[in-house]
Structures are given as structure tokens and as C-alpha cells.
């Protein structure tokens, strides 16, 4: 990993049992080995979150690297008042949202306030299919959502933020957050049903051969 502005403090041998908080404190004092350990522990999760939000592997990798550059610059401000994973998670989300703003991504304007069942209802009704296939299908469908819908869905249904938190992060009303989620779930259901119908039709065609 390379990061702008990082110094070349001599690496030290670190016990594997060190907590994230202890590593952040060491990193804040310029211990590069400690920061490398943080990177190794958390890079995959940061990358996965970026990928869910932007639906582009190359872009997600670039954003993940930018998050860790930003983390290196800000790590001294972490005081342990919350779990480090929570703090890093919020840092990642905010960085991706800033990326969206720079690209001019906006939430689609909607007026519906209704809620529908969790998209997991679809998965639960498909018990005859292997679970990993459902996960792949859902991830693929999420990647096909418009950016505005995908952002709200990932923040609320995947990452577990409340509507009030989503609204605050996106600078919109709670009603808009709920509406976007409703639209996202409806669109996901359509995408997943289309994929299921296509697979069923393919199997029927193959069985006739």
C-alpha cells in the first residue's frame, strides 16, 4: 500500500493481540507497522463497502485506497469513543458520498412514502436454490440500481443505518430516504424476478433438447 504524506518511521514488531484502538494510537505516533496492520485487518471490508456503493471494482479499489490515505491523516483524531470499525465505516461512507457529489450524482425525485417487505423475502421464498447463488444474484441486482437508489438501499438495508442517519448523511428528508428505499426495493424485486424467469425459461428450453 502506498499513501501520500506517510512518513518512513522504522517498523516495529507488534503483538497480534493489539486492539484496533492500541493500533490507532501507535499509528498516530507515526508507527507505520501499526498502520499497515490496520490496513490488513480492514481493507477488505472497506473495499466491499465501496464496491456495494459504486458497483465498479476499479473505482471501488481507488476509493478504498483514498479512504486509507484519509484515515492515515485523521487517525490521530480517533479517541476510542466508539468502536474503530464504526468510525472507519462512517469515514468510508462519507468519502464515497463526497465522491458521488463531485460526480453530480443526485437522488431521484420521488413522492411515494410507502414501504414494502424486505427484499430478503424474495430470497427466503427461493429456498430451493443454493444460498450463495441468491447472494450473487442480489449483489448483481444491487449493482444495476440507479446510483441514488443503490446508495439508500446499501446504507439502510445492507449497512443498517436508520432513516434518520441516512437522511442526515445524504442531506435529504427522512421521507425522501424512505421513498428512495421503497423505489430501490421495488426495482430490485423486478430485477431479481426477471433473472429468475430467465433462468427458468433457459432450463425449460434445455430440457426440450
Residue 87, pLDDT > 50, answer yes
Q: How far apart are CA 76 and CA 53, in angstroms?
A: 27
pLDDT for the residue numbered 105: 62
What percent of the residues of the chain are helix, what percent strand, and what percent coil, each to the nearest 5? Answer: 70, 0, 30
183 band by pLDDT with thresholds 50, 70 and 90: very high
The mean predicted confidence, pLDDT, of the chain is 79
pLDDT for the residue numbered 160: 86
pTM exceeds cut of 0.75 = no
- Domains, the chain, ordered by start: 20-103 (1.10.1740.10), 120-208 (1.10.10.10)
Count how many Cα atoms sit within 13 Å of the Cα of residue 117 in the half-sphere of its side chain: 7
Between 197 and 65, the more confident residue is 65
Q: How far apart are CA 39 and CA 84, in angstroms?
A: 12
pLDDT for the residue numbered 16: 66
Residue pair 97/169 in contact (Cβ under 8 Å)? The answer is yes
Count Cβ atoms below 10 Å from residue 9 Cβ, excluding itself.
15
pLDDT digits (tens, 9 = 90+) for 51-73: 989 989 999 999 999 999 999 99
For residue 172, give every residue at least 6 positions away whose Cβ sits within 8 Å of its Cβ, in sequence order, or none: 107, 180
For residue 70, give every residue at least 6 positions away whose Cβ sits within 8 Å of its Cβ, in sequence order, or none: 91, 95
Residue 108, pLDDT > 80, answer no
Q: How far is CA 50 from the centre of its chain?
A: 5
Is residue 151 within a helix (H) or strand (E), and if so which, with residue range?
helix 147-153
Between 15 and 3, the more confident residue is 15
Residue 82, pLDDT > 70, answer yes
Q: How far apart are CA 11 and CA 52, in angstroms?
A: 34
Q: How far apart are CA 171 and CA 76, in angstroms?
A: 27
When mean pLDDT is compared across 11-20, 58-67, 86-95, 149-158, the lowest value belongs to: 11-20
Amino acid at each position: 500500500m502506498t499513501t501520500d504524506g506517510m512518513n518512513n518511521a522504522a517498523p516495529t514488531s507488534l503483538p497480534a493481540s493489539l486492539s484496533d484502538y492500541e493500533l490507532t494510537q501507535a499509528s498516530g505516533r507515526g508507527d507505520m507497522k501499526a498502520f499497515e496492520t490496520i490496513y490488513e485487518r480492514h481493507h477488505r471490508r472497506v473495499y466491499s463497502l465501496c464496491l456495494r456503493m459504486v458497483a465498479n471494482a476499479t473505482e471501488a479499489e481507488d476509493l478504498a485506497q483514498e479512504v486509507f490515505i484519509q484515515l492515515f491523516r485523521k487517525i490521530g483524531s480517533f479517541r476510542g469513543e466508539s468502536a474503530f470499525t464504526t468510525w472507519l465505516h462512517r469515514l468510508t461512507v462519507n468519502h464515497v458520498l463526497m465522491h458521488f457529489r463531485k460526480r453530480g450524482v443526485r437522488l431521484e425525485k420521488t413522492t411515494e412514502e410507502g414501504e414494502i417487505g424486505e427484499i430478503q423475502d424474495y430470497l427466503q421464498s427461493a429456498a430451493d436454490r443454493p444460498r450463495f447463488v441468491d447472494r450473487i444474484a442480489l449483489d448483481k441486482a444491487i449493482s444495476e440500481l440507479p446510483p441514488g437508489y443503490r446508495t439508500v438501499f446499501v446504507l439502510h438495508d445492507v449497512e443498517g443505518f436508520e432513516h434518520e442517519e441516512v437522511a442526515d448523511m445524504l442531506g435529504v428528508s427522512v421521507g425522501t430516504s424512505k421513498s428512495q428505499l421503497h423505489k430501490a426495493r421495488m426495482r430490485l424485486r423486478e430485477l431479481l424476478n426477471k433473472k429468475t424467469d430467465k433462468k427458468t425459461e433457459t432450463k425449460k428450453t434445455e430440457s426440450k433438447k
